[in-house]
Amino acid sequence: MKRPSRRQFLIGGGAVGGGLLLGYGLLSPERREVAGGIIGGEGAQLTTWVRIHPDNTVTFYVPHGEMGQGVHTALPMMAAEEMEADWDLVRMEQAPATPTFANGPLGKGYLTNGGGVPSALNGTANFAFYKLAELMNLQITGGSTAVRFTGQFGMRVTGAAAKEMLIKAAAKKWGVAESECTARLSHVLHEASGQKATFGELAELAAEFSPSANPVLKDKKDYTIVGTAKQRFDIPAKVTGESMYGIDVKVPGMLYAAIKQVPVIGGSVARVNDSEALAARGVRAVVTLEDGVAVVADNTWRAKQALDLLEVEFADGGNGHVSSDSIFAQFDKALAENEGEEDVEKGEGAAALAGAQTVVEADYRVPFLAHATMEPMNCTVRIENGKCDVWIGTQDGLGTRAVAAEAAGMSDDDVTVHTLMMGGGFGRRSPGSPNHIIQAVKIAKEVGAPVKLTWSREDDMQHDYYRPAVSARMSAGFDEEGNLTTWVNRYIRKDEPAEASHIPYAVANQSIRYVESEVHIPYGPWRSVAHTQHTFFNESFTDELAHAAGKDPYQFRRDLLKDQPRHLAVLDLAAKKANWGGPLPEGHARGIAVQESFQTIVAEVVEVSLDENGRPRVHNVTAAVDCGEVINTDTARAQVESGIIYGLTAALYGEITVENGAVVEENFPDYEMVRLANTPKMDVHFIESGAKLGGLGEPGTPPVAPALANALFSLTGQRIRSLPLKNHEFSRSNRLAQAAD
């Protein structure tokens, strides 16, 4: 059998146990055949994750995009831990967007022939790999999945299997028993004989062994890497300006494009006069697309300037009459006229309200939100000799490839996606949001030269895929003893994740139902997706109920969480760390909220006052987080801080308004952000419950809006049932008058 060369060496050597391939990339032809036979003909490979170099460094290939969430460091930490690699010798590289780094055939097989993972495999190592395969097929970075799935089921197992193979290699080489060899700091040792070899020296021999399907994972108490604070690999290049984002790409012969987009979403270009634009300095072409007119020039600014010289008439596609007001009126009507589809029905459901002693009702709503990543959307494309190259920062390399292939009229195999750093993602650079990619491909195809399309901030804000505007009609009932017995919620739009609208509280009768009400504003996942709206609705309404019951909002929640020990623990920790009930400066108040999202439970306490203009001023946010286990302690903290600021910006200022079918807000001056001067002090505490690993990229965001609104109620007596807070006037006079009574 032909041995893989040292350079080609990758951990893994074969197919084992029911079609499982482990961290395996450059298969020798013989093994490829075996793998193909077992998996079903396409020679599937479950990604190339690790390479050991002769100098004893180890490179881990990470199939997720880096957008600041630290995944390029956390995943290698998980693999290195199990492998017993010396962290100082660990390197990482972004895995390319090719099926080698996904697991197309394996994942596809189970997705298409049965719609999921075979239930018989639940809880087995194989299950983990199948689950992973589903995700890898799309190569998605989103849903707070990287550590939870790729890390837990892929990186850890790969590292452990690699270690076993290296030990086998050492034992064979030295003629000793495997059980007498140990791996530590990128070496294998045989203590009795004093023999020692580096992973690099053993790599070639190790490649001849097959990886175990169920390698033994380390006991958490023996961890030396996971659970510590490791500096992120991507940070040094981000302080020297060397980090390459999509927008920074320069391809030989490249031209620069800017676009005038159809303002009304769903509208079209009716007429174009481009003679003046074409005459401007540096302009090479004008390309008319379905959703805009692009100018291609020799410099980004020249292309942008020439847009003003275009004479374009647009058609509104029948949406020119739509406004935010008409959309919310449509929602009100839909909620009034429909019983809705079942989400949760428990006990007697809504019928129980009839027998309630007290009923509380409230209508809630949230507006559309843009992602506003710091790096505006951009995409660089070269179509040449029947091949298409795409340079982009994306949350889904393979999805991008498919989108580009379709737009170019080519097969996926003819498209190469070069994945670059993302200047923010938050869902905007996820699979279903490809308008900028399609535009860039079509422009490059028509121009016949490489083109970088760079959107303006205005394009980015007005042609996003938005967090949906939604409404909810809430009601609840108490019995004679003041116990909460009924929870009813009718809301617009069932969204992902499905459980976002559910409550953790022990309420006997529940009726949670949804009504679909189509709008023409495109939908996109926005950091924590449906949890953003539902946590605001549910946790604000819970606060209303606490006050209606005359109970402290923290104690009220505690009483309803008796059967939810993890929720209770984070709630208690947040309250304790924030000194809930303790003294506060004059004119300050606290609010609390708790939410589970992506298997992580977060409770936040917000401390607020009003500034001299009556605007909310957030002083402190205390967060307690149970994500099961923390991988990189500092990155974990940073993610929660980031989620809080993202949610706070939305709560205070975030509102995309629709008028005449188009988005009104254009740029940061009218879509304001939290900045350094109004950043609260954030204090993040983790509980290592040992529960299943939860995500961290998103769960910090949902609780902050309701915690803040609840704090404002405590301060002013004003209940906030719609966001953002900038639309509300606040005054403490009501509250002070109530206190004086």
Partner 1 sequence: MISLQVNGEWRELDVEPDMPLLWAIRDELGLTGTKFGCGVAACGACTVQVDGVAQRSCVLPVGAVEGASVRTVENLGTADNLSALQAAWIKHQVPQCGYCQSGMLMAADALLTENPNPSDADIDAAMTNICRCGTYQRVRAAIHDAAKAKA
In the three-class reduction of DSSP (H, G, I as helix; E, B as strand; rest coil), residue 150 is classed as: helix
Taking the least distance from each CB to partner 1, the nearer of 423 and 450 is 423
**Could you say which of 122, 224, 273, 299 contacts partner 1 (CB under 8 A)?**
299
Is-contact 472 343, C-beta < 8 A?
no
Judged by CB under 8 A, which stretch of 113-121, 395-403, 423-431, 719-727 contacts partner 1? Answer: 423-431
Neighbours of 499 (CB within 10 A): 15
Is-contact 626 504, C-beta < 8 A?
no
- Which residues, numbered 588-647, are part of the site for partner 1 (CB under 8 A)? 634-635, 638, 641-646
CB of residue 72 vs partner 1: minimum separation in angstroms? 12
**Could you say which of 425, 427, 468, 553 contacts partner 1 (CB under 8 A)?**
425
- Using the rule CB under 8 A, is 685 a contact of partner 1? no
Is-contact 234 244, C-beta < 8 A?
no
In the three-class reduction of DSSP (H, G, I as helix; E, B as strand; rest coil), residue 181 is classed as: strand
CB of residue 114 vs partner 1: minimum separation in angstroms? 38
Taking the least distance from each CB to partner 1, the nearer of 372 and 515 is 372
Residue 313 phi, psi dihedral angles, 5° rounding: -110, 135
CB of residue 664 vs partner 1: minimum separation in angstroms? 16
**Could you say which of 178, 333, 498, 668 contacts partner 1 (CB under 8 A)?**
668
Using CA atoms, how far residue 351 sits from 231, 347, 506, 510, 714, in Å, is 56, 9, 18, 9, 32
Structure tokens at 285: 């072409």
State the DSSP H helix or E strand holding residue 478, giving kind and residue range, or none if neither: strand 470-478
**Could you say which of 54, 177, 216, 301 contacts partner 1 (CB under 8 A)?**
301
Half-sphere exposure of 390 (CA within 13 A, CB side): 39
- Using the rule CB under 8 A, is 67 a contact of partner 1? yes
CB of residue 704 vs partner 1: minimum separation in angstroms? 11
Using CA atoms, how far residue 325 sits from 334, 469, 637, 660, in Å, is 14, 11, 39, 11
Is-contact 661 319, C-beta < 8 A?
yes
Taking the least distance from each CB to partner 1, the nearer of 143 and 425 is 425
CB of residue 674 vs partner 1: minimum separation in angstroms? 7
- Which residues, numbered 363-402, are part of the site for partner 1 (CB under 8 A)? 372-376
Residue 72 one-letter amino acid: H
Taking the least distance from each CB to partner 1, the nearer of 297 and 503 is 297
Taking the least distance from each CB to partner 1, the nearer of 193 and 299 is 299
**Could you say which of 68, 105, 399, 504 contacts partner 1 (CB under 8 A)?**
68
Taking the least distance from each CB to partner 1, the nearer of 48 and 454 is 454
Is-contact 723 706, C-beta < 8 A?
no
Q: Tokens 């302690």, residue?
A: 633
Is-contact 682 604, C-beta < 8 A?
no
- Which residues, numbered 446-465, are part of the site for partner 1 (CB under 8 A)? 454, 456-457
Taking the least distance from each CB to partner 1, the nearer of 676 and 739 is 676
- Which residues, numbered 346-365, are part of the site for partner 1 (CB under 8 A)? none
Residue closest to 444 by CA, chosen among 507, 396, 500, 379: 379
Taking the least distance from each CB to partner 1, the nearer of 321 and 675 is 675
CB of residue 198 vs partner 1: minimum separation in angstroms? 26
Q: Which long-range contacts (CB under 8 A, 24 or more apart) does 26-31 make?
A: 28/1, 28/2, 28/3, 28/4, 29/2, 30/1, 30/2
Taking the least distance from each CB to partner 1, the nearer of 112 and 240 is 240
Report DSSP state, residue 152: I
Residues making up the chain, counted from first to last: 741
CB of residue 518 vs partner 1: minimum separation in angstroms? 30
- Using the rule CB under 8 A, is 295 a contact of partner 1? no
- CA–CA gap between residue 699 and residue 702 (Å, rounded): 6
Structure tokens at 44: 């599937």
CB of residue 615 vs partner 1: minimum separation in angstroms? 16
- Using the rule CB under 8 A, is 241 a contact of partner 1? yes
Using CA atoms, how far residue 281 sits from 197, 288, 298, 304, 451, in Å, is 65, 20, 9, 12, 17
CB of residue 624 vs partner 1: minimum separation in angstroms? 18
**Could you say which of 131, 163, 168, 232 contacts partner 1 (CB under 8 A)?**
232
Handedness of CA 672, 673, 677, 680 (dihedral sign): positive
Is-contact 247 376, C-beta < 8 A?
yes
Taking the least distance from each CB to partner 1, the nearer of 47 and 456 is 456
Taking the least distance from each CB to partner 1, the nearer of 250 and 692 is 250
- Using the rule CB under 8 A, is 257 a contact of partner 1? no
Taking the least distance from each CB to partner 1, the nearer of 437 and 645 is 645
**Could you say which of 177, 216, 237, 737 contacts partner 1 (CB under 8 A)?**
237
Structure tokens at 450: 């490489």
CB of residue 242 vs partner 1: minimum separation in angstroms? 7
Half-sphere exposure of 429 (CA within 13 A, CB side): 32
- Using the rule CB under 8 A, is 256 a contact of partner 1? yes
- Using the rule CB under 8 A, is 300 a contact of partner 1? yes
Q: Beta strand pairing status for 387-392 and 415-419?
A: parallel
Is-contact 86 224, C-beta < 8 A?
no
- Using the rule CB under 8 A, is 279 a contact of partner 1? no
In the three-class reduction of DSSP (H, G, I as helix; E, B as strand; rest coil), residue 145 is classed as: coil
CB of residue 74 vs partner 1: minimum separation in angstroms? 13
- CA–CA gap between residue 504 and residue 594 (Å, rounded): 9
**Could you say which of 133, 165, 682, 708 contacts partner 1 (CB under 8 A)?**
682
- CA–CA gap between residue 607 and residue 99 (Å, rounded): 48
Taking the least distance from each CB to partner 1, the nearer of 115 and 241 is 241
Taking the least distance from each CB to partner 1, the nearer of 178 and 670 is 670
Judged by CB under 8 A, which stretch of 25-33, 64-72, 185-193, 571-579 contacts partner 1? Answer: 64-72
- Using the rule CB under 8 A, is 69 a contact of partner 1? yes
Q: Which residues contact 112 (CB under 8 A, 6 or more apart)?
A: none
CB of residue 252 vs partner 1: minimum separation in angstroms? 12
- CA–CA gap between residue 15 and residue 123 (Å, rounded): 20
**CA 688: distance to chain centroid?**
22
Q: Residues binding partner 1: what is the number (CB under 8 A)?
A: 63
Judged by CB under 8 A, which stretch of 86-94, 232-240, 567-575, 623-631 contacts partner 1? Answer: 232-240
Binding residues (CB under 8 A) for partner 1: these are 67-70, 231-232, 234-245, 247-248, 250, 256, 281, 299-302, 372-376, 421-426, 454, 456-457, 634-635, 638, 641-646, 648-649, 667-669, 673-677, 679, 681-682
